[in-house]
Amino acid sequence: MDRTHVHVRPRPGGLLFRSFTHHDFHFNHADETKLYIGNISFDTEEGTLRELFEDYAPVVDLYVPLDQNTGRPRGFAFVTLEPENAQRAIQEVDGWEVDGRMLRVNEAQPKGGRSEGGFNTQNQGYASTNEW
């Protein structure tokens, strides 16, 4: 079974390595929904996003990809919530201004459904449905 190492930021502290297989990246389990959060300011902290979405449901997972060269956030994230609260979060948070940027929030789609195809560990194999 192929394993991929992905950088994950623990709370608190630096980077740690976590092993995943493509089977670890589940899409739309009956008990969770992964959302794409785009147009995030590079200055927005993970804790700010976590607090924002915890107003809607407990955050199952929050992934903020970092640039490999600079270690800074890449401007988007993925948050996993319970499905009954995820739709409300999409409707209410999409378009909110956070740190001077209008957030774009929608349900994440597997990258395989896009024309580039393939599995991308940089954003856990998911992509936005936003077409700007």
Fold held by 27-127: Alpha-Beta Plaits (3.30.70)
Q: pLDDT at position 50, please? A: 96
Query: Could you read off the pLDDT tens digit of each residue along the chain, which spans 132 residues?
Result: 333 333 334 434 433 334 343 334 444 456 899 999 999 999 999 999 999 999 999 999 999 999 999 988 999 999 999 998 999 999 999 999 999 999 999 999 987 655 444 444 444 555 555 544
Q: pLDDT at position 6, please? A: 38
Give 35-100 as a DSSP string: EEEES--TT--HHHHHHHHHTTS--SEEE--B-TTT-SB-S-EEEEE-HHHHHHHHHHHTT-EETT
